[in-house]
Amino acid sequence: MRHSQQDALDRWLAAERDGRDGEAEAALLELFEALPLARPAAGFAGRVLVRAGLQTAPVPADLFAWRPLRIVLGMALAASGLGVLWLPPVLRFLAGLWSFGGAVEGGIRVLTDASQWLATALRLWDLLVTIVHALAEPLAVPQVMAVLVLALLASGLAFRFLRDQITGERNWTYVDPS
């Protein structure tokens, strides 16, 4: 211990002994400021936890061991493989578009396909409208609507009584105390 540290230690002990709190605090603060700032080496806490058996030794991360990444890479590889199969027809089609006649033919083909898709969609829409009309027509009759409302009220009451029955039987005991 250096002379200045020993002097501060003596002053602190003497001040504590004599009951001079302010001087004791100042001398103690001087002692603490003289202490070197010691830091453990990097990874010290991890090595202590491994040695104590509370943590396993760190394993270097293998990026390709992560299952979701392997799945994504496999799907990307499969998509690339399927893309290679489509590449020649697409290139042949694009090569045919370089001429004016090929561009007109491609435009007519797109317009024809779009109109066929629109006709199919309209046929499906017409079918759905017919079905909805067939289901909604009986509901317009007052007698049918009255029967449906009565059935709804009966099912609501049955649900209410069932809920009251189930909640009324709940309690904290499993055996009847009598």
Residues 6 or more apart whose Cβ sits within 8 Å of residue 57: 50
Q: How far is CA 105 from CA 90, 95, 101, in A?
A: 15, 13, 6
Q: Which tens digits make up the pLDDT trace of 35-54?
A: 877 788 888 888 888 888 77
Whether the pLDDT of residue 65 is over 80: the answer is no
17 touches 1 (CB < 8 A):
no
Token pair, residue 38, equals 């010691």
Q: Could you tell me what percent of the chain has a pLDDT over 70?
A: 89
Q: Which two tokens stand for residue 14?
A: 């003497």
Report, as an integer, the average pLDDT of 148-176: 83
pLDDT in tens, 158-170: 999 998 888 776 6
Q: What number of other Cβ atoms are within 10 A of residue 15's Cβ?
A: 18
Residue 150's pLDDT is what? 96
**How distant, in Å, are the alpha carbons of 31, 121, 145, 152, 162 from that of 155?**
84, 39, 15, 5, 10
The top-scoring range by mean pLDDT among 9-23, 55-69, 109-123, 153-167 is: 109-123
